[in-house]
Amino acid sequence: MDKLVVRGGNPLTGSLTVSGSKNTALPLMSAALLTDGRVTLSNVPDLKDVQTFARVIEVTGTTIEHTPQQHLISLNAGSLTRIEAPYELVKRMRASFYMLGALLGRMGKARVSLPGGCAWGPRPVDLHIQGMKALGAEIDLHQGYVVASAPAGRLPGGRVTLDPSSVGATINIILAATLARGSSVIENAAIEPDVVHFCEMLQAMGARLNGVGTRTLEIEGVDRLDPVDFENCPDRIEMGTFMIAAAIAGRPGQAVEIHHGRADHLGSAFMEAFQRTGTRVEESDSLIRVIAPEELRPVSVTTDIYPGFPTDLQAQWTVLMARCAGNSKVYETVYPDRFKHIPELQRMGVNAIIVGDEVVIEGGKAIQGTHVMSTDLRASVSLVLAGMVAEGETHVLRVYHLDRGYERLEEKLSGAGIDIERVRYDEWADPS
Ligand code: UD1
């Protein structure tokens, strides 16, 4: 296995470049299944999750040409014949469940494994299934699989209200509804930038969608969609992670430049909270300059759906708060159990405790390097951030979690002054 070894204390200087969005690339790849021509996506991040999803798609008979170094992926679903997404692949990545909507929409039937649990607790797919039923699909659960079919081969369409508003369910339902015989409406649809960008790709393919970016989304089914070449948007969570890195490890008063990001994709709650810490942000086009203050101020946050504070940035925010003299809270409303990073941060001397759905942080204490375990994607990056400002060496183990969502993180950070390297290790070796 690989680990990241971070020697703390170096300032973050210079610039960082944001890769394409992981959470948007996956639905864009799913959209390619709705047409029988070749779709080419650019700015696709070179990540494990993209490779996993490419394998899921290949099972259907779709041909894929992937050139990860160039961040390009071409998909041709003209040869799509199999309607299955097997457990062996779906269990590796929950977003594989998008195959349900894509296959139902394109083929009128699907057999997709239920994804099962998640590292930080239950993550249901009931809304996805409820949505497919509302569009007219017949659904059976059989031996861990969702077996879905459209009457007479094509969904009639229908109306569904999502509660809570779910990114994944919104995307899955849109995938199924776009080629339906009739019209559909999603009430309380997700409006995350990932969803909006995905809708824009479908519109470029000829889909009829109204209310994109609003809570009421109308989908008028069309008979066919055309292939398209489409550029993926920047990863807003990677950008937010870099902004936090600049605030905690940047030299006070000196700008860290973050290229190819979209500040508006982060949502107003993050930007407001970030600036209240005393960190300055200057934006121009796709360049964001982050200037760390002499002294960071504590700011409590509550995660919420877009444009609320993203749950995918709360672990990183906890590390930022650990650097501020004073107390703060991180209240998680999207995934109440998502605190697996806290015991690991506590091992580094971070004074943070979990109280119900909340983490209470007493900041300003020294952070110490040690061996810590990655438990999920965003938890692992929070450990790297803590390692950057810790005394001594931090070994972040099981870094495969981080590799799912951060492209060459150690190369990007070491290019900006951080002492970090990837090292192979044997997890079960006896201590010498
Ligand atoms: C996506 C992101 C993930 C992010 C999350 C919230 C991808 C691949 N993943 O996950 O990084 O943390 O949005 O911004 O894009 N829910 C239900 N029933 C369902 C589906 C969801 O109750 O059928 C609930 C969830 O438990 C959660 C809330 O809805 O409380 C929002 O989850 P959702 O937006 O669906 O998250 P994902 O799409 O899985």
Residue pLDDT, tens place only, 15-60:
999 999 999 999 999 999 999 999 999 999 999 999 999 999 999 9
Alpha helices, DSSP H, located in 250-399: 268-276, 314-322, 341-347, 377-388
- For ligand 1, say whether the CB of 16 is within 6 Å of any of its atoms: no
- 257 Cα distance to chain centroid: 22
Q: What residues act catalytically? A: 118
With a CB cutoff of 8 Å and minimum separation 6, the contacts of 285 are none
**Residue 120: predicted pLDDT:** 56
Cα-to-centroid distance, 389 and ligand 1 (Å): 31
CA–CA dist 404, 119 (Å, integer):
13
**Residue 285 near residue 310 (C-beta atoms within 8 A):** no
pLDDT in tens, 416-428: 999 999 999 988 8
DSSP 430: P
Percent of the chain exceeding pLDDT 70 equals 98
Q: What's the Cα-to-Cα distance from 227 to each of 23, 55, 99, 204, 402, rounded to whole Å?
A: 21, 21, 18, 9, 33
- For ligand 1, say whether the CB of 170 is within 6 Å of any of its atoms: no
What does DSSP say about strands 393-397 and 2-7: parallel, antiparallel, or unpaired?
antiparallel
**Residue 286: predicted pLDDT:** 85
pLDDT, mean over the chain? 96
Cα-to-centroid distance, 326 and ligand 1 (Å): 32
Domain limits, the chain: 2-19+234-424, 22-231
**Residue 122: predicted pLDDT:** 62
Cα-to-centroid distance, 4 and ligand 1 (Å): 28
Answer yes or no: is pLDDT of 121 > 70. no
Substitution candidate for ligand 1 out of 174, 195, 334 with most atoms within 8 A of CB: 334
Neighbours of 129 (CB within 10 A): 20
Architecture of domain 2-19+234-424: Alpha-beta prism (3.65)
**Residue 53 near residue 28 (C-beta atoms within 8 A):** no
Alpha helices, DSSP H, located in 250-313: 268-276
Percent of the chain exceeding pLDDT 90 equals 92
Does the fold of domain 22-231 match that of domain 2-19+234-424? yes
CA–CA dist 184, 204 (Å, integer):
19
Mean pLDDT of 295-324: 97
Residue nearest to atom 31 of ligand 1 (CA): 166
**Residue 119: predicted pLDDT:** 62
CA–CA dist 342, 353 (Å, integer):
7
CA–CA dist 305, 159 (Å, integer):
22
Cα-to-centroid distance, 167 and ligand 1 (Å): 6
Cα-to-centroid distance, 228 and ligand 1 (Å): 28
Residue nearest to atom 39 of ligand 1 (CA): 168
- For ligand 1, say whether the CB of 123 is within 6 Å of any of its atoms: yes
Which of these, 344, 229, 354, 261, lies nearest to 271 by C-alpha position? Answer: 261
Which of these, 312, 212, 232, lies nearest to 25 by C-alpha position? Answer: 232
Q: What is the identity of the amino acid at 327?
A: N
Residue nearest to atom 20 of ligand 1 (CA): 125
- For ligand 1, say whether the CB of 314 is within 6 Å of any of its atoms: no
**Residue 431: predicted pLDDT:** 74
Cα-to-centroid distance, 270 and ligand 1 (Å): 18
**Residue 118: predicted pLDDT:** 60
**Residue 296: predicted pLDDT:** 97
CA–CA dist 412, 263 (Å, integer):
19
- For ligand 1, say whether the CB of 167 is within 6 Å of any of its atoms: yes
Residue nearest to atom 11 of ligand 1 (CA): 312
Specify the pTM.
0.96
Return the ligand 1 atom nearest residue 122 CA: 26
- For ligand 1, say whether the CB of 315 is within 6 Å of any of its atoms: no
pLDDT in tens, 371-412: 999 988 889 999 999 999 999 999 999 999 999 999 999 999
Return the ligand 1 atom nearest residue 129 CA: 23
**Residue 389: predicted pLDDT:** 98
Beta bridge partners of 3: 423
Residue nearest to atom 35 of ligand 1 (CA): 166
CA–CA dist 29, 98 (Å, integer):
10
Largest Cα–Cα separation, the chain: 67
Question: For 22-231, which CATH class?
Answer: alpha beta
Neighbours of 159 (CB within 10 A): 12
Cα-to-centroid distance, 115 and ligand 1 (Å): 13
Return the ligand 1 atom nearest residue 171 CA: 38
**What is the sign of the dihedral through the CA atoms of 148, 153, 156 and 157?**
positive
- For ligand 1, say whether the CB of 255 is within 6 Å of any of its atoms: no
